[in-house]
Amino acid sequence: MNSLGLALKNERERRGFTLEHVARETNISKTYIEALEAENYTVFPGEPYLFGFLRTYAEFLELSPEELIGIYRNHKIQEQPSPISQLVPPPVNLPWRPIVIGVGIVAVLTLAVINMGGILEFFQSVPGLLFSKQETKRETVVYSLGPSDRELDKRFYKGDRLEVDLSGNRVGIEVNAIQDYVLLVSPNNETRLRLGQEAFLDLDEDGSMDLRIGVTDLDPRSPDMGANLSLQRIEAVAAIEGGIQVPAGSEPLIVVNNPANVRPERQRPSITVQSAASAGPIQIEVSFRGRSLFRYQADDRPREEGFWDKGEVLRIEASRQVVFGASNSSAFSLRINGRDVDLNTSDQVLVRILRWIQQGVSYQLQLDPLY
């Protein structure tokens, strides 16, 4: 077996299964099934999702997931350029090498007799010269949001900048720090956001919001891996409706997603799960009806992720908010605080935030998409 795609396709056809039948039984999109059989890996959001879909499909066809993943890894290795050590022949050992070494030893001993202090100092410095750690510094990146650009979704690292064009004036935002939060610094304010939090920024201080920015991926245990920021431009929005009214510079800068500022094809409805006089505990029960990669972060605790199989149940508890994402939205069902919740989406890959939102004198437990 040397072709992953052919192995899947041949076994499917041998069993008489259509693509539609496989998609229905495995809860995997037909698009991803076709991509696996065509070995078109560019359509997947990342390798964890690819491995999840591949494992589910292989188990459905009663093939070995490990063998197919091994074929995929071998294919990736073959695409890598050969190391230079394999391209350059090894040096030939010449017969005069022992003579050269002997002459070198005699010379070193002679120098040691002449200047013992200097030679000792030299040898003491050799380890530092040979084994000093060479740190590679990543070049900072400057991203641009031009007059015609409405949104930007990129992974930022400490020191990276975003320049936003506001009626011909360019305003910069710098990622000043990444820890268990992202610290953004602009000319007139500082904004600190944790995973799942977002803020509306008035960059030119004209009384209207110019930019919505949110953190959609951040691992507090690995801040060097950067943070994924989702940014959308807002035109002529003087106030934020339906959310928490937040004074400039206060924290936390969390507001409700405003679908009016998102492209229509990306809009997903917010879901109000519960209304109460005060915010209370959050309890989520995820029941899996198919294999899925599921990741979540409850409050400010470290992010958890893993693969869950059909019949398994995941329970999550939090006091303030939960951010979660999945590779296969049709492979699980949700119960939140004892209520069944329909995500009402066909998205294969989704990210949602569940949090308490204050509305006047009451609170709502609201489930919002993170775009």
Q: What is the CATH number of the domain that holds 42?
A: 1.10.260.40
Residue 270 confidence (pLDDT) above 50: yes
pLDDT band of 264, cuts 50, 70, 90: very low
Residues 298 and 241 placed together within one structural domain of the fold: no
Quick one: tokens of 151?
């949104």
Whether 89 maps to a domain, the answer reads: no
- Report the candidate in 169, 245, 151 with the shortest Cα–Cα distance to residue 205: 169
**Domain ranges, residue 123:** 97-131
Which token pair is 208? 């209207």
Please tell me the least confidently modeled range out of 19-23, 260-264, 266-270, 313-317. Answer: 260-264
Looking at the structure, do residues 157 and 185 belong to the same domain, yes or no?
A: yes
Do residues 161 and 234 share a domain?
yes
What is the token pair recorded at 333? 């069902």
pTM exceeds 0.85, yes or no: no
- Crossing angle of helices 65-79 and 47-60, rounded to 10°: 140
Which pLDDT does position 108 carry in this prediction? Answer: 54
pLDDT band for position 284 (cuts 50, 70, 90): very high
Measured distance CA(198)–CA(216) in Å, rounded: 9
Average pLDDT over residues 128-154: 72
Is residue 163 located within the same domain as residue 257?
yes
Residue 39 lies in a domain: yes
> Does residue 197 sit in the same domain as residue 217?
yes
CATH number of domain containing 226: 2.60.98
Residues 101 and 21 in one domain: no
Residue 159: predicted pLDDT: 92
- Same domain? 149 vs 255: yes
Tens digit of each residue's pLDDT (9 = 90 or more) over 40-50? 988 887 777 78
For residues 266 and 10, the model is more confident at 10
Cα–Cα distance for residue pair 33/184, rounded to 1 Å:
40
Please indicate, yes or no, if residue 136 is contained in any of the structural domains. Answer: no
Which tens digits make up the pLDDT trace of 13-41? Answer: 999 999 988 888 887 888 889 999 999 98
CB 365 within 8 A of CB 276: yes
Instruction: Return phi, psi of residue 241, to 5°.
Output: -95, 145
**Do 184 and 281 reside in the same domain of the chain?**
no
The confidence score (pLDDT) of residue 101 equals: 60
Q: Which of 10-14, 115-119, 169-173, 351-355 has the lowest mean pLDDT?
A: 115-119
Let me know if residue 88 belongs to a domain: no
324 and 241 inside one domain = no
Q: Domain total for the chain? A: 4
Residue 119 sits in the same domain as residue 153: no
Q: What is the pLDDT of residue 123?
A: 47
Give 249's pLDDT tier (boundaries 50, 70, 90): very low
Indicate if the pLDDT at residue 247 is higher than 50.
Answer: no
DSSP 232-246: EEEEEE-S--SS---
**Between 310 and 199, whose confidence is greater?**
310
Same domain, 116 and 208: no
Position 86 in a domain? no
pLDDT at 157: 93
Please give the DSSP secondary-structure letter assigned to residue 115. -
